[in-house]
A and B are shown apart, each in its own frame.
Chain A
């Protein structure tokens, strides 16, 4: 019988099967552990190292354990086999002597066999060989299919297969399990004058099984302990490497958070120390560059502030002098009178321009502060509308306000008022005397104000340009409010400062709309505006008038992606309805001049 067959038999031994069953719950636990690991797999290098160490070493331990176990089992069985053979030889000699002249077909054959077996077992109980081979039982029977069977001993425990295969002069062996008891069965043929007898020795393998079981459990326990120890070692070792890395990550995070003095501690001269050194160098040069930039910023601010002061003081003097002249203009000659009037009005413009320039340079320098407080937006919008009511009545424009009360927003009232004032004044300028509608609505996340006029509107592409500094359409029309050309630029910066949107829409001949959307809370995020930007039925309207489809150009808040104060990357398309796609060649070239109203600075 081959070695392979032996092993297969061994695997059928109950001990091995039991060990297999014991691995079941362990595997379930490993599964649960796996779920846990998956959760934090990507987050912990330590875990990853420990788990892979565990996985690899359990494979090694498993293979090692299996090899060891089969090796031990084989050794056990082969020594048993040796002893069994020796015993079988001895027993055969004894029996051949006993049964020489035995004929199974004679009367009393049964008794003779019983007697011979008894004799055999008795002899060997006291024999020297029995100590090596241990307990055994013997059975005798005539060959199968050769006359009536005469047998003695536990011949039932021998398989028919073995009995029929057994030939004279050879020794057969088989492992056979009956009633939970595995035996090594050795068969031989005993030549007698009559029919040949088959002689079997049955060696129980209880002892070997017990030993194997012990070895198995020792291996399992030893393997598990080894695995735990390995995991612990891996964890410890990894921690040695990971801890400095974690420290480095923490330091880098704090550094990124603005603590530019954060440095890693350099210990020893190993790789971690080198990492710390190069990190510290990097941090140092970054901090130096940031400091330099901050210095530049501070210089810029100083310069702005100095220019402001230096310009404003003489301007104040000129202003006062002009006003004194203007106050007594009735006493002056007509040319002088007109001059004093021009002087005063142009000084107004000059002041506005200066104030706007300073404001925009402050916004550019990032030093503009958001004086946010909780305000009722409708009150602020109403105030802004009141501020330009004079302008509206001069232009014969009706201001139609639709402002629901109680829309509370965290915003800078000064800036919001300036934005709305700019928008409304702009609408009056370009509304051609048609009513200007100011609408407000809110949703849980944001509040929007739309200023809509029905004037000349905007040509395709112009909605993108209206927020540019000093931008004016080529054909400038009546400018009632004057304006510095910076009003809408300041407004969009003000909106950005709030984390809000300012967008423009317009169609030639169909008017334009500007929408301001502010988040309810400072730092809040807007995903959609509560109000549509364009008219709900812009396309239908223009169709009804027999005009060609105009253009509706939504202006996403420029630069929202790059502004440092919000850090959000979204630049969502503003939801706007009704308008058709811009069709440049279709659009009639109507003037859409965007002279901008000055916000009057921040005084």
Chain B
């Protein structure tokens, strides 16, 4: 079955070009040119990945991102013309899983989309635990004391990556490779922002994390099981 990509972009030429490239790479695409129509389109088409331009008429890309994230864990890849810290961090904090800076090469974009889609497929049968958190890997279920915690696929992947090797300290670079699928060094802010997001969901007190621990100057590791 082909993966569906929802393209949210107001530039018709770019949207069309994206469609051509993604079709050529074996994706199904749907295009929405207005921010306000993005959320209904997500509901209708149930895409595997949303490709979201940050500058949109109608509704700001950041707001669209928040609106989608409020009701869906669908992977979101931002397209942004700005690589400035503020814009990128704002986008990531509003719920985007990854970002691509314009102008990008088609291969780069496809690699990013595939990385997000692939995460939705591999399902080894596994039960993991960190502290009071239980992780049912095939069912994509994370529970604390039997109560389910809603995580996006990316946050789930991040947690599973840490939980699989409880003693290992993961550098940000290693996490970028394992969770985001970057082969080369990329923006470590991705890791920082998503660890914060994950903590806000799984920790009792995000200020004093017990599940995802920071190892100063190195990276992150899972808390004691």
Contact = CB atoms under 8 A, between A and B. Distances in A.
8 contacts: A312-B102, A314-B13, A315-B102, A316-B104, A319-B105, A323-B21, A323-B106, A354-B103
Interface of B: 11, 13-14, 17-18, 20-21, 24, 55, 81-85, 101-107, 185, 217
Interface string A342-362: 000000000100100000001
A351 B81 CA distance: 12
Contacts of B20: 320, 324
Contacts of A367: 84
A309 interface: yes
B17 A321 contact: yes
B59 to A, nearest CB: 17
A367 B82 CA distance: 13
Contacts of A309: 55, 81-82, 102
Interface string A286-322: 0000000000000000000100110011111101110
A479 B81 CA distance: 29
Given A317-B13, A323-B106, A312 B81 contact: yes
A321 B81 CA distance: 18
B29 to A, nearest CB: 13
Contacts of A270: none
Interface string A370-392: 01001000000001000000000
Contact of A319 (B82, B85, B104): B104
B144 to A, nearest CB: 33
A188 B40 CA distance: 138
A308 B81 contact: yes
Interface string A315-344: 111011101100000000000000000000
Nearest to B79: A316
Given A314-B11, A601-B83, 13 more contacts: A305-B82, A312-B102, A313-B14, A315-B103, A316-B14, A317-B13, A317-B14, A319-B106, A320-B20, A324-B106, A367-B84, A371-B85, A374-B217
Contacts of B18: 320
Closest 3 A/B residue pairs (Cβ): A309-B81, A312-B102, A316-B103
Identify whether the interface residues of A are mostly helix, strand, loop, or mixed: helix
A271 interface: no
A213 to B, nearest CB: 80
Given A320-B21, A320-B106, A324-B106, A603 B14 contact: no
B189 to A, nearest CB: 9
B147 to A, nearest CB: 37
Contacts of B81: 305, 308-309, 312-313
Contact of A383 (B17, B24, B185): B185
A369 interface: yes
Interface in A574-603: 601-603
Contacts, number: 64
Contacts of A317: 11, 13-14, 17
Contacts of A324: 17, 20-21, 24, 106
Contacts of A305: 81-82, 84
A168 B11 CA distance: 138
Contacts of A313: 11, 14, 81, 102
Contacts of B11: 313-314, 317
Interface residues of A, number: 25
B217 A603 contact: no
B105 A323 contact: yes
A601 to B, nearest CB: 7
B70 to A, nearest CB: 26
A324 B84 CA distance: 29
Interface in A137-167: none
Contacts of B84: 305, 362, 367, 369
Contacts of B82: 305, 308-309
Contacts of A312: 81, 102-103
A319 B84 CA distance: 22
A330 to B, nearest CB: 15
Contacts of A371: 85
Contacts of B85: 369, 371
Most chain A CB within 10 A, of B11, B21, B105, is at B105
Contact of A603 (B21, B101, B107): B101
A316 B14 CA distance: 7
A324 to B, nearest CB: 6
Nearest to B107: A323
Interface in A385-420: none
Most A Cβ at <10 Å: residue of B11, B55, B81, B82: B81
A309 B79 CA distance: 11
B67 to A, nearest CB: 22
A450 to B, nearest CB: 24
A539 to B, nearest CB: 42
A367 B83 CA distance: 13
A316 B109 CA distance: 11
A603 B84 CA distance: 10
Nearest to A369: B85
Contacts of B83: 601-603
B21 A319 contact: no
A510 B185 CA distance: 36
Contacts of A320: 14, 17-18, 20-21, 105-106
Contacts of B106: 319-320, 323-324
Interface string A455-483: 00000000000000000000000000000
Nearest to A344: B105
From B11, B103, B106, B217, residue with most partner A Cβ within 10 Å: B103
Contacts of B107: 323
A278 to B, nearest CB: 40
Nearest to A602: B83
Nearest to A309: B81
Contacts of A319: 103-106
B165 to A, nearest CB: 23
B102 A316 contact: yes
A93 B219 CA distance: 123
Nearest to B85: A369
A603 B79 CA distance: 12
B54 to A, nearest CB: 9
A393 to B, nearest CB: 18
Nearest to A305: B82
Nearest to A351: B103
A331 to B, nearest CB: 14
Contacts of B101: 603
A388 to B, nearest CB: 14
Contacts of A369: 84-85
Contacts of A602: 83
Contacts of A315: 102-103
Output the residue of A323, A354, A367 with the most chain B CB within 10 A: A323
Contacts of A351: 103
Contacts of B24: 324
